[in-house]
Amino acid sequence: MTYSTANNNHIFSQVDSGKDIYSPRRAQRYNLLILWGSLFALVVADGILTEYLVAYRFGVESNPFLIALVGNLGFLLLKCAGAALAIFFLQDISKRNYKLALSASILFVLFYILIVFWNLFAFLNGFSY
């Protein structure tokens, strides 16, 4: 049985052509996508927890613009739309300045982690009464 290398050259064409399979730009993009997905999930978690806390009087909405919307579907939709808009702006910034977009994304994710933990603390504290 003989093997022809002519048919298998396409497998190694990227390596043979001198192109690096690992791309720093691809890794940067992957890092930002993970952060943006986390940011969106945290905003949704914040919205769901806020809905629950306000409905059962364990807490109040501190944003004066959103107080009237709590309890409606519009509240969660507005939070999702705001998160999507923020991620869109971060994506636009990342095309020009990766480090700025990475720093801002990390800060937003850390901020929303703090908010979600604050809401969870209020939720757990509400059961202690």
Amino acid at 18: G
Judge whether 13 lies within some domain. Answer: no
Q: How confident is the model at residue 82 (pLDDT cuts 50, 70, 90)?
A: very high
Q: Write the pLDDT tens digit of every residue in 9-66.
A: 555 555 555 555 678 888 899 999 999 999 999 999 999 999 988 888 888 888 888 8
Q: Write the pLDDT tens digit of every residue in 29-39.
A: 999 999 999 99
Judge whether 3 lies within some domain. Answer: no
The H-assigned helical ranges of the chain are 13-16, 24-55, 73-96, 98-126
Distance between CA 101 and CA 92 in Å, rounded? 9
Q: Write the pLDDT tens digit of every residue in 104-120.
A: 999 999 999 999 999 89
Judge whether 29 lies within some domain. Answer: yes
Judge whether 90 lies within some domain. Answer: yes
- What's the domain count of the chain? 1
Which structural domain, as residue segments, surrounds residue 90? 22-126
Judge whether 93 lies within some domain. Answer: yes
pTM: predicted TM-score of the whole model, two decimal places: 0.78
Judge whether 2 lies within some domain. Answer: no
Judge whether 17 lies within some domain. Answer: no
